[in-house]
């Protein structure tokens, strides 16, 4: 056993003495030791209940003859840190989480790992660690929050963000706003739409690192506790049979995940996280791969924020197994990819049924004939940009407008809420990329403000920053190279014409090549006074098109 390095033999008597100080018996020390990386805390609604799931995981491990040893990671709620300086620590926390789990699993050579995340950057950070460490690992998330109820309709966190703009324009009253904020998030779990957290928890299934229904069983359901126990039992099976992440996280697994992502219209952040996880597994996953798969994959699930359905609806309709089974009818899924069940994806989804043809539409009647995400290229984004096509109004798929340039998110929000953005303009927010922010802030506040003031059908937003999974509208992010690296977005001027053509995957600044070269030659880097972790992060992080990973 891997854990024998720290517990077996005469030389390890001092080590065993320390384990006994924890209250472990000789039998528990002799058994396989399973590390449990738990991101429970009292700051994130999606993580408040993770201690209960961890207890269930431990029960499963003990039932199968193992010894669970729990440790904790940090966790940041993107909703709470949205729209202020705290958002700079969101994506950057992903690398800290991966590094901390690596440190614990190397310092304590566990025989296996159970990962318990639930929100945003914590999920991919943990999966990056799994790929890097390559010891038997299984992931069990905390599950999605239920949708809230407001005046007879379902709402979620995105509804409240958009309501801020509506309140500013008189669309709702202060009393309605107060009522809405009290019922949009009714309890524990990751926010109810197909935002980043739920996208990644569902894709953990598609990758094969989590048991079926990991992404969709509601957080409050007893089924979630049973799934946690099953995950505890299953990690022992993986340890016994030496099933490593390298056997699961193959190119076929990532192609399956992207296919599922396109079919349910996931967050644009998946185009950051999947390449970052793949990088740890030694697999290159360029943005062109997303386009290739998007072109052949129909959009089958109209999930919030683009559509009316939430994760509880997707679970009721059959979950990710039913969606993958539908995609498999036309051989869009690699059925021979291995999973943590020790069965293939094909075996896992055999017999899975769709119970609601609107929540999961048949291949013959998709919401859109192509996938939910698209990578755009052109002289404004030579290395790519990303848009959630499924959340863009048809009228904005092709757009030409004059640039309105802002040097920060705060500056843009102030102008949008003051209703000083004109119809047809293209808002450009720059110096918000991985290096320039630093930290690559999400732009849910400005995209929600655009929706709230009624401009989502006639105004586009471009940024070298990124978007929340809750964003909708013609919101194009991840523009690479970013402004801080001297990318073309750094030299856009007010009034410049910008052409967006999502069907043709193009994003261009309509000036001559000579003029663009002249402007770029005159560009000078902006200096920012940084300290602490953000200073180190800005020096080490790479561009969005690489997954914003660290340089080796």
Distance CA 203, CA 373 (A): 14
Q: CB–CB of 408/429 below 8 Å?
A: yes
Distance CA 42, CA 39 (A): 10
Helix count and strand count (H, E) for the chain:
21, 14
Q: Is 47 left (phi over 0), alpha (psi -120 to 50) or beta?
A: alpha
What is the DSSP secondary-structure string of 102-116? HHHHHHS--SEEEEE
Q: Is 292 exposed, middle or buried (0-12, 13-18, 19+ CB in 10 A)?
A: middle
> Would you say the C-alpha torsion 478, 293, 311, 37 has a positive or negative sign?
negative
List active site positions: 468
Helix (H, G, I), strand (E, B) or coil at 428: strand
Distance CA 538, CA 483 (A): 13
Q: CB–CB of 372/265 below 8 Å?
A: yes
Residue 188 CB contacts under 8 Å (≥ 6 apart), including other chains: 45, 46, 48, 49, 142, 145, 219, 220
Q: What is the DSSP letter of 173?
A: -
Q: CB–CB of 382/336 below 8 Å?
A: no
Q: Which residue has the tokens 């291949």?
A: 363
Strands (E), 19-143: 33-38, 67-72, 112-116, 137-139
| Measured CA angle at 208 (ends 146, 222), to 5 deg | 35
Distance CA 326, CA 356 (A): 12
């Amino acid at each position: 056993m891997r854990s024998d390095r720290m517990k077996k033999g005469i030389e390890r008597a001092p080590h065993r003495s320390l384990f006994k100080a924890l209250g472990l018996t000789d039998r528990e020390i002799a058994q396989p030791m399973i590390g449990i990386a738990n991101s429970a805390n009292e700051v994130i609604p999606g993580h408040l209940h993770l201690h209960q799931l961890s207890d269930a995981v431990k029960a499963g491990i003990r039932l199968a003859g193992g010894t669970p040893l729990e440790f904790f990671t940090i966790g940041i709620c993107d909703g709470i840190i949205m729209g202020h300086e705290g958002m700079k620590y969101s994506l950057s926390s992903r690398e800290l989480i991966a590094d901390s789990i690596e440190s614990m699993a190397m310092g304590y050579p566990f025989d296996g790992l159970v990962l318990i995340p639930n929100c945003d950057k914590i999920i991919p950070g943990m999966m990056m660690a799994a790929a890097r460490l390559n010891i038997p690992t299984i992931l069990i998330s905390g599950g999605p929050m239920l949708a809230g109820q407001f005046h007879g309709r379902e709402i979620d966190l995105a509804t409240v963000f958009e309501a801020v703009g509506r309140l500013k324009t008189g669309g709702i009253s202060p009393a309605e706003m107060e009522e809405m904020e009290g019922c949009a998030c009714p309890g524990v779990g990751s926010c109810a739409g197909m935002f980043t957290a739920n996208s990644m928890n569902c894709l953990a299934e598609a990758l094969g690192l989590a048991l079926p229904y990991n992404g969709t069983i509601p957080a409050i359901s007893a089924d979630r506790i049973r799934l946690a126990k099953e995950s505890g039992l299953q990690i022992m099976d993986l340890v016994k049979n030496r099933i490593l992440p390298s056997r699961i996280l193959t190119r076929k697994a990532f192609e399956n995940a992207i296919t599922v992502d396109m079919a349910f219209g996931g967050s644009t952040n998946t185009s950051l996280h999947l390449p970052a996880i793949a990088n740890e597994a030694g697999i290159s996953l360029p943005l062109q791969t997303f386009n290739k798969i998007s072109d052949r994959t129909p959009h089958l699930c109209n999930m919030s924020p683009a559509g009316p359905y939430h994760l509880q609806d997707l679970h009721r309709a059959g979950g990710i197994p039913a969606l993958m089974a539908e995609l498999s009818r036309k051989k869009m899924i690699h059925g021979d990819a291995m999973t943590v069940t020790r069965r293939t994806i094909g075996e896992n989804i055999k017999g899975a049924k769709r119970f609601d043809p609107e929540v999961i539409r048949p291949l013959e009647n998709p919401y859109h004939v192509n996938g939910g995400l698209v990578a755009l290229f052109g002289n404004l984004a030579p290395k790519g940009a990303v848009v959630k096509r499924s959340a863009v109004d048809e009228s904005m798929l092709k757009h030409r407008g004059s640039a309105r340039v802002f040097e920060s998110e705060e500056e843009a929000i102030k102008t949008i809420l003051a209703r000083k953005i004109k119809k047809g303009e293209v808002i450009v927010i720059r110096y918000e990329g991985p290096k320039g922010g630093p930290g690559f802030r999400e732009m849910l506040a400005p995209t929600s403000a655009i929706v709230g003031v009624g401009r989502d059908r006639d105004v586009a937003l471009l940024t070298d920053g990124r978007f929340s999974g809750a964003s909708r509208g013609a919101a194009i992010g991840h523009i690479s190279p970013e402004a801080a690296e001297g990318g073309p977005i750094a030299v856009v001027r007010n009034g410049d014409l910008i052409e967006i053509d999502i069907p043709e995957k193009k994003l261009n600044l309509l000036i001559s090549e000579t003029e663009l070269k002249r402007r770029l030659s005159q560009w000078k880097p902006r200096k920012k006074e940084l300290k602490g972790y953000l200073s180190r992060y800005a020096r080490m992080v790479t561009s969005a098109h690489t997954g914003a990973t660290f340089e080796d």
